[in-house]
Amino acid sequence: MRTILVASSKGGAGKTTVATNLAAHFAVEGKATALLDADPQKSSTHWCEKRAALDTAVLPLDGTRRGWDKSLPEGIQRLVVDARAGAMGEDLTAFLDLADAVVVPVQPSTIDLEATVAFLNTLVQHPRVKKGKLPVGIIGNRLKPWTTNSQQAVGQLKTWPYPVVAELRDTQAYVLMVALGKSVFDYHSEQIRSHQEDWAPLLRWLKKAI
């Protein structure tokens, strides 16, 4: 089993969007995929429930309960963890112990950037991150590439000690797809393919990381 932790201390950063789309990608690839929802809001769980009738269904698991790590089903090839909003590094120890890679979504605002710096400072206290044994990647999320604000934000992200592994454009398509239990990897239109291209660098990075 390969595990990807999606985490951010900032609410609204786009954890669930990233987690659900990653889970869908693995499922569409034919991998037995589960999504461990550690956020009490249960948005990822609801997404899985809406997707349950598809051939590419994703198994929802409750990550808010103690002992979740002792009840992981056999046969899972890919596990995506949607961490609790507001969790800092010390709150994520059990997930960091298990993960093969961590992705951290960040929106292009000063508040989000500053909050993420504080979060990363706690994340690096985990021995696996500190020793470079657990890859951490940054995702620029809800970007408007034609704006100075997004360009400056991405420029700042690229000065951080972790790689920027994806730049995802701001679009309502993600909101609509999550509501349907779908993802960008479930469609083949020209417009959606352009969004799939935004994910390509992340998927290449994960392929090397896990």
- How many domains, in total, are found in the chain? 1
| Average pLDDT over the chain, rounded to an integer | 94
CA 144 to chain CA centroid, nearest Å: 19
Which range marks the domain in which residue 201 is found?
2-209
What would the pLDDT profile of 20-62 be if each residue is shown by its tens digit? Answer: 999 999 999 999 999 999 999 999 999 999 999 999 999 999 9
CA distance 82 to 31: 18
The CATH number of residue 34's host domain is 3.40.50.300
Q: What is the pLDDT of residue 189?
A: 84
Quote the strand ranges of the chain, DSSP E: 2-6, 33-37, 59-62, 78-82, 101-106, 136-143, 164-169
What would the pLDDT profile of 66-92 be if each residue is shown by its tens digit? Answer: 888 888 899 999 999 999 989 999 999
The whole-number average pLDDT for the span 105-120 is 95
CA distance 64 to 83: 9
The tokens describing 140, both together, are 């620029």
Share of the chain above pLDDT 70, in %: 100
State yes or no: pLDDT of 10 exceeds 90: no
What would the pLDDT profile of 12-25 be if each residue is shown by its tens digit? Answer: 889 999 999 999 99
